Amino acid sequence: MSLQLLLINPMMRFQVKRRFKKNPDVMTLRPVMQAMEPQNAKLPADVTAQQITLGGVPVEKLTATAAESSGAFFYIHGGGWVAGSPRTHRPLTHRLATQTGMAVYAVDYRLAPEHVFPAGLDDCVAAYRALLEEVPAHEIVVGGDSAGGNLALALALRLKAEGIPLPAALVCLSPATDLAATGGSRISNAKRDALFVEEMMETVEGRYCPGADPLNPYISPLHGDVANLPPTLFHVGDTEMLLDDSTRMADKMRAAAVSVTIKVWPKVPHVWHLMADLLPEARQAIDEIVVFVQIHRRAASGLEKAS
Q: Is 242:255 a contact under the CB 8 Å cutoff?
A: no
Confirm whether 240 is a catalytic residue.
yes
Residues in a beta bridge with 263: 235
The answer to whether residue 307 is catalytic is no
Is the Cβ–Cβ distance between 58 and 108 less than 8 Å? yes
Residue type, 166: L
Cis peptide bond N-terminal to 10, omega within 30: no
CA atoms within 13 A on the CB side of 305: 7
Q: 290 with 96: CB under 8 angstroms?
A: yes
What interhelical angle do 90-100 and 280-306 show, nearest 10? 50
The active-site residue, picked from 220, 240, 273, 281, is 240
Among candidate residues 146, 185, 220, 246, the one labeled active-site is 146
Tell me, yes or no, if 270 is annotated catalytic.
yes
Instruction: Name the strand (E) or helix (H) holding 171.
Output: strand 169-173
Catalytic residue among 77, 94, 138, 270: 270
The catalytic residues are 146, 240, 270
